Amino acid sequence: MSAEFQTHTDHELLLAYVAVMAELRRRGITRSSNNPVADHAEGVIARALNLTLAGRSAAGYDAVDSKGLKYQIKGRRVTQENPSTQLSHIRRLEDRPFDLLAAVIFDANFCVEYAALIPPEVVLERARFSKHANAHIFLFKRDVLTDPRVTEITSKITEQESQLPTEIQGRVHSAVP
């Protein structure tokens, strides 16, 4: 890693990524700007909920809590160009490979819009099965938060940002490209 990046916060680096991806898209080099979202979602949710991330070979879940509950973690970054809240494919949903879906929607600048813990039965009710993908497709629209079986965790996720030192918070919010 270049020494010039070591003094920047994680969020500042993500904002730099936003600017780079916009330029690559303008040049026609890329068609998508969603690449690091999944890993970022896993990290912020795991830290906020004190989860242990599973290894890459864990099928159907991404993290485990201290009680042994399994979490599938999904994230989506919405942009002006692509406002969809469709999460990545959920495989083997009928088999219930996870106890809770932890989902987060980021805005274009990787700030948390909303996040929730969603039981698999809610996902199954709201998702549609795609034969082509052999997986369920779930739109994490804001109205999912109104289901009484769903637990909103937005404040737990955003609380981490508020715990940053004040001078870093100012740099993070002023770094928007």
Query: Which residue in 59, 41, 54, 69 sits closest to 153, CA to CA?
Result: 41
The pTM of this model reads 0.80
Q: Is residue 118 part of a domain?
A: yes
Q: Which pLDDT tens digit goes with each residue over 27-84?
A: 876 666 656 788 889 889 999 999 999 987 788 999 999 999 999 999 999 999 999 9
Q: Structural domain of residue 108, as residue ranges?
A: 34-164
Q: Tell me how far CA of residue 37 lies from CA of 22, 41, 70, 109, 124, in angstroms.
A: 15, 6, 20, 11, 23
CATH code: domain of residue 126 = 3.40.210
Total structural domains within the chain:
1
Strand positions, DSSP E, 6-126: 52-53, 63-64, 70-77, 100-106, 112-118
Is 70 contained in some domain? yes
Helix (H) or strand (E) holding 115: strand 112-118
119: in domain: yes
**In-domain check, residue 99:** yes
